[in-house]
Amino acid sequence: MIQKEKKILVSRQYGNKQISAIGLGLCGLRTLAGHFKKDEAVAALGKALESGINYIDLGFPELCPDKALLKAYGALLNNADVSICVKANVLKLTSGEELTVQLRSCMEAYGITKVTFLQLYGVNRTAWNRIRGNGVLQKADELKETGAVENLSMHYTDDRFYLKPILQEGIFDGISIELSAIELPRNSGSLKIAGDFHLGTVVTGALKNGCILSELSLKDAICAEFFAPGVSSVLLELLTAEEVQKAVEISETSDRGKDYVRAQLAAKKARDAFYKKREIQCEVCRCCMPCPEGFNAPRIAELYNEALMFDAPEYSALQFEIENLAGKECVHCGKCQSKCPREFEIGTIATKAAELFRSQLKEVNCCDPRRV
């Protein structure tokens, strides 16, 4: 039997693992929105494994419209030497027991038996305070202590200044942040903060579900993050073998000296073009908060801006659902608008956005409980 020689992609440290500098995301927003063909998606995973991609993020299987796809993925993963990351959505969890249930559900959905990284998804300044008190953090720590998971990471979604006190607790082995051409100036600082604690960072959203490619080449979109200091892996949701092939080729042939400056220049032009489509230039400073009703207007407005920038409201709607933003309503007290330094009608915009997202979710129908 001839054994295929496995390619080794550039690898970088993350937790206690050396992971490939390109990672594969499964069950991301493109999948949840139904933009995939099952055979092609499974072939993409096969191609990724064959190419040496060894960091696989399992996404949001509870929202996946095709459960058979998950089983097909799992069959491949169980025969591969890879690091598997399972998400625990802290924006929805209310107890340590729920965390355990979510972990088990994910493993069962895929049919996998090991978890390399348990990622606490959606950590921000308010979620962090909540999970410290409701047992989620404690349970996550226990799962690591008992060896049920090898590493604990978090997907961080807030301003970098709130990251340091979290990392000072010494619980996490790595972090993940959203970093595309859009977030490059805003979120690059989190790479530095993580680096201060000798933690690697997996970056997500580089392609914005493919939408960024209307203004930016695939190579520049990847290189702008691939070479950013402190990045361990660029996580991509790739749904065909061809997409995987292209991403791997870019990672293998790109050169920091030649490509990083050029990629950032292209990223800036793309960012400027996208920003013109936003309804408000809100930088999510959160001066408008706290809301007496708990309505997360700045985050909803940010998702609305993304929907406009990329002309893809379904992705923002899915994110709205994932982040559990639908549960609160604006009562139009005007407090947020009176505190906004730029005097945006942020409550009004967020209310409009929330209505849009709710109607979009009905169309996407990924939240049909019969699918869970």
Partner 1 sequence: MAKKCSYLKKYFELREGPQGLYPEPLLWKEGPEMEGFAGNFFYTFVTKPTQFHPVEGAVIHPYNEVLVFASLDLDDILQLHGELTIELGEEREVYTITEPSFVCIPAGLQHGPVKVNNVERPFVHFAMGIEGDGTYQAECIAPADLKDPVPGEKYAHLIKPLRTNMENILNDPDMNPEKLMAEMEEQGVTFGSGMGYEALMDNKGVLRSAFVQMGPGNADQMVWIFGNDMEDFNLNFSWGFYNSPGKWHRHGEVHVHPEEEILIFVSLDPDKPLDFGAEVELGMGWDDERIVISRTPGLYVCPKGLPHLPEITRWVDRPFGFIVCNIDSGHASPWVETDEDGSILDSEREKDFGF
Q: Is the peptide bond before 290 cis (omega within 30 degrees of 0)?
A: yes
Would you list the DSSP string of 126-138? HHHHHHHHSSHHH
Residue numbers 214-243 binding partner 1 by CB under 8 A: 228-229
> Minimal distance in Å, beta carbon 271 to partner 1?
8
The residue (of 258 and 332) whose beta carbon lies closer to partner 1 is 258
Q: Which of 101, 287, 331, 333 touches partner 1 by CB under 8 A? A: 287
63 CA to centre of own chain: 15
Contacts of 98 (CB under 8 A, 6+ apart): 92, 136
The residue (of 157 and 264) whose beta carbon lies closer to partner 1 is 264
Strand 17-20 versus strand 11-14 pairing type: antiparallel
Q: Which of 105, 126, 337, 348 touches partner 1 by CB under 8 A? A: 126
Q: How many residues bind partner 1 (CB under 8 A)?
A: 43
The residue (of 112 and 206) whose beta carbon lies closer to partner 1 is 206
Strand 83-89 versus strand 55-57 pairing type: parallel
Rounded-to-integer distance, Cα 108 and Cα 117, Å: 16
Rounded-to-integer distance, Cα 191 and Cα 177, Å: 9
Judged by CB under 8 A, the stretch of 81-89, 207-215, 266-274, 363-371 that binds partner 1 is 266-274
Torsion angle in degrees (nearest 10) through CA of 43, 122, 231, 187: 130
Residue numbers 136-165 binding partner 1 by CB under 8 A: 159-162, 164-165
Q: Which among 111, 119, 163 has a CA at the least distance from the CA of 140?
A: 119
Judged by CB under 8 A, the stretch of 52-60, 71-79, 109-117, 282-290 that binds partner 1 is 282-290
Judged by CB under 8 A, the stretch of 112-120, 192-200, 210-218, 357-365 that binds partner 1 is 192-200
261 binds partner 1 (CB under 8 A): yes
278 binds partner 1 (CB under 8 A): no
Q: How many Cα atoms occupy the beta-carbon half-sphere of 364 within 13 Å?
A: 28
Q: Which of 8, 39, 40, 290 touches partner 1 by CB under 8 A? A: 290
DSSP letter assigned to residue 211: G
The residue (of 46 and 195) whose beta carbon lies closer to partner 1 is 195
Judged by CB under 8 A, the stretch of 2-10, 89-97, 183-191, 326-334 that binds partner 1 is 183-191
Burial label for 309, CB within 10 Å (0-12, 13-18, 19+), is: buried
Contact 188, 151 (CB under 8 A): no
Residue numbers 306-365 binding partner 1 by CB under 8 A: 339-343
* Strand ranges inside 35-183, DSSP E: 55-57, 83-89, 117-123, 151-156, 174-178
The residue (of 165 and 334) whose beta carbon lies closer to partner 1 is 165
129 binds partner 1 (CB under 8 A): yes
260 binds partner 1 (CB under 8 A): yes
Provide the binding-site residues for partner 1, judged by CB under 8 A. Answer: 125-126, 128-129, 159-162, 164-165, 184-186, 188-193, 195, 228-229, 260-265, 267-269, 282-283, 285-287, 289-290, 339-343
